[in-house]
């Protein structure tokens, strides 16, 4: 996707560089996106073809002025990425994230990569890379006080914010477990050929509710997907919904177990995953505020760029 | 494995016919095993080569007398098996299991296959096939009153017994989930090349204890295997132990959530899996009585044969 830029107005370049995706925005002095690029050249690809080369090709494609500062978040800062950007340890003030960005050495332009967050806790060690920037963007809309921020995905992140500080966070392997269980266990027969889960699927909501009530039964509820298919005529659609609702409900129960009752919840998500989590949170009795994940990461990069370069 | 039989003393043949394993005993009038056969000709293989042929080849190999009654338990009674043996619905008296055995038609000998158990419950549909016979054997050692019987495996079964009656049961996908997660998720890197879990591994016991205290955090504790490897130097051995302890601890927490406090627990298991579950149950503060799973299935088949044929 390419737009034509008006190079004279450009202030900086923002990049969200994930494991398998690359997104770049040329941002104007007024904060508007003058051009945007999206591609599949994530960390995995760029580690082979060269990070500098990938970035340069996209800058050239939009005729970006030479020498603009570039702010990057995501897996480009991982150990296997371009330049390792390390982690800020929790508790961490969100405002400390931009200053901890690491500069890419050996290039003339000011290219910086934002750090991740690390929770160095013996019983719950955890890491974030990429979502800290969504968080920086989403928090711009939050007041002080305590907040629980849900960022669903392959590895869902739930962050406990107090004022502008990350007190702690938890990663739930929900999306990756869904794939592993759906493809590589006996449940694959029960959900074969099922389509997308309908937003109003009652089997999904019931599974979420059961997990919030008794999360200890999670792996038994998973087997009930198989047994329900064998002896109770559970349809492939409802089987898939039950599997998804069990894993998402377990995640919600876990996240709530670490926060004070009635802590306000914010959902940072996009598309069908956002719809599904909205349904799940409602089934769990929660009324989250919702922020689009794409908007959040762009806002987070803008907050970072302003802090670093007084733009 | 073959022993030489003394055919004149033989009373019946007992068969434990699983998905991937076949075990047969020629049993004497005094209940002793006169001969034993073990092979990999489980349901999957026999469905191709013929159940009658597999059984006949093993009977011939031990020179079993013609026309002995044969009692079979396990997947040979599944829909994809030899003859579908259906399910007894819970609540079900254990004593009702033998009489519900299904006779194999079209053969002269009296060959019967024991039924499974089904829990037709909308929120927790569940099925057992094979373990009902272990249960029949294990229960011979139990008094009346309430008992919780744990039969660990690919699909662990926990049965709630009251007197001689199965009130209900829960299947936990523990073993299958361990394999799927260990092989097909990002955790595979953390546990690469780890050996067997040592019986005294403290990471295993700590993971069990954490799950019993807060099972809702299960999928976050799974991710901590990855994060611990990234930022806390978690060894492959401890990573594997943490993964296993989390899944087994979650299973124990779930099973306990459905039983009255202080219900006596019986563990029916063999070998290293039995040792691991013994450690896990101890970490959860339980002191189970232990019965060998092989003994339990043989005793269960003997109880069934006596009931059916007044042996």
Inter-residue contact B287 to B148 (CB < 8 Å):
no
* pLDDT computed for residue A7 by the predictor: 57
**Phi and psi of B30, rounded to 5°?**
-90, 5
Q: Which of B150, B157, B214, B223 to mutate to test the interface with A (most CBs of A within 10 A)?
A: B223
CA distance A248 to A217: 14
Judge residue B268's burial from the number of C-beta atoms within 10 Å of its C-beta, 0-12 exposed, 13-18 middle, 19 or more buried: buried
Q: What is the pLDDT of residues A21-32, one digit of tens each?
A: 999 999 999 999
Q: B171–A220: do the CB atoms touch at under 8 Å?
A: yes
Q: Which residues contact B144 (CB under 8 A, 6 or more apart)?
A: B163, B164
Residue A1 has pLDDT above 50, yes or no: no
C-beta neighbour count of A255 within 10 angstroms: 26
Q: Please give the share of chain A, as a percent, with pLDDT higher than 90.
A: 94
* pLDDT computed for residue A144 by the predictor: 85
* pLDDT computed for residue A60 by the predictor: 97
* Residue whose tokens read 């009652």: A202
C-beta neighbour count of A165 within 10 angstroms: 16
Q: A220–B254: do the CB atoms touch at under 8 Å?
A: yes
Q: Which long-range contacts (CB under 8 A, 24 or more apart) does A53-62 make?
A: A54/A22, A55/A15, A55/A24, A55/A111, A58/A22, A58/A24, A59/A13, A59/A24, A61/A2, A61/A37, A62/A2, A62/A3, A62/A4, A62/A5, A62/A24, A62/A26, A62/A35, A62/A37
- Interface contact B122, partner A, CB < 8 A: yes
ipTM of the complex: 0.94
3-state secondary structure of A116: strand
Q: What is the pLDDT of residues A54-100, one digit of tens each?
A: 999 999 999 999 999 999 999 999 999 999 999 999 999 999 999 99
Q: Closest Cα partner for A301 from A145, A140, A150, A161?
A: A140
* pLDDT computed for residue B70 by the predictor: 98
Strands A165-172 and A156-162: antiparallel
Q: Write the DSSP string, B102-119.
A: EEPTT-SS-EEE--EEEE
Inter-residue contact B217 to B177 (CB < 8 Å):
no
Q: A232–B125: do the CB atoms touch at under 8 Å?
A: yes
Residue A2 has pLDDT above 50, yes or no: no
3-state secondary structure of A151: strand
Q: Closest Cα partner for B37 from B12, B6, B59, B67?
A: B59
* pLDDT computed for residue B57 by the predictor: 97
Chain A residue at shortest CA distance from B253: A216
* pLDDT computed for residue B7 by the predictor: 57
* pLDDT computed for residue B147 by the predictor: 97
Q: What is the pLDDT of residues A215-267, one digit of tens each?
A: 999 999 999 999 999 999 999 999 999 999 999 999 999 999 999 999 999 99
**Chain A residues with beta carbon closer than 8 angstroms to that of B221:** 124
Inter-residue contact B130 to B16 (CB < 8 Å):
yes
Inter-residue contact A183 to A241 (CB < 8 Å):
no
CA distance B179 to A257: 28
**Phi and psi of A59, rounded to 5°?**
-65, -40
Pull the structure tokens for residue A25.
């925005």
* pLDDT computed for residue A143 by the predictor: 79
* pLDDT computed for residue A297 by the predictor: 97
Q: Which residues contact B140 (CB under 8 A, 6 or more apart)?
A: B299, B303
Chain B residue at shortest CA distance from A247: B219
**Does this model's pTM top 0.90?**
yes
Residues 224-243 of B with CB under 8 A from A: 224, 227-228, 230-232, 234
3-state secondary structure of A167: strand
CA distance B245 to B209: 8
Q: Which of A223, A252, A255, A256 to mutate to test the interface with B (most CBs of B within 10 A)?
A: A223
Strands A102-103 and A126-128: unpaired
Q: Which residues of chain B have pLDDT under 70?
A: 1-7
Instruction: Point out the residue among A87, A127, A184 whose CB comes nearest to the CB of B184.
Output: A184
- Interface contact B166, partner A, CB < 8 A: no
CA distance B206 to B202: 6
């Amino acid at each position: 996707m390419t737009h034509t830029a008006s190079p004279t107005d450009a202030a900086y370049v923002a990049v969200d560089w994930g494991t398998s995706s690359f997104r770049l925005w040329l941002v104007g002095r007024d904060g508007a996106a003058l051009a945007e690029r999206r591609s599949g050249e994530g960390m995995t690809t760029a580690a082979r073809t060269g990070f500098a080369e990938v970035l340069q090709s996209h800058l050239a494609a939009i005729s970006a002025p030479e020498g603009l500062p570039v702010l990057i978040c995501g897996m480009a800062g991982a150990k296997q990425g371009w330049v390792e950007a390390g982690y800020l340890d929790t508790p961490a003030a969100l405002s400390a994230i931009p200053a901890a960005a690491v500069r890419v050495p050996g290039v003339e332009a000011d290219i910086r990569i934002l750090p991740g967050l690390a929770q160095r806790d013996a019983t719950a060690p955890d890491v974030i890379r990429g979502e800290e920037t969504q968080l920086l963007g989403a928090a711009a809309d939050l007041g002080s006080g305590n907040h629980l921020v849900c960022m669903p995905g392959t590895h869902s992140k739930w962050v406990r914010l107090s004022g502008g500080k990350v007190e702690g966070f938890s990663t739930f392997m929900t999306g990756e477990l869904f794939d592993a269980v759906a493809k590589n266990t006996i449940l694959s027969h029960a959900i074969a050929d099922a389509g997308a889960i309908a937003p109003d699927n009652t089997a999904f909501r019931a599974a979420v509710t059961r997990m919030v009530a008794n999360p200890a039964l999670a792996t038994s509820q998973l087997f009930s997907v198989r047994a329900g298919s064998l002896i109770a005529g559970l349809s492939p659609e409802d089987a898939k919904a039950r599997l998804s609702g069990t894993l998402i409900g377990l995640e919600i129960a876990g996240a709530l177990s670490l926060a004070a009752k009635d802590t306000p919840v914010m959902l940072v998500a996009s598309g069908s995953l956002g719809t599904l989590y909205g349904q799940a949170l409602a089934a769990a009795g929660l009324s989250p505020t919702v922020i689009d994940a794409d908007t959040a990461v762009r806002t987070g990069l803008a907050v970072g760029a302003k802090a670093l370069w007084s733009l």
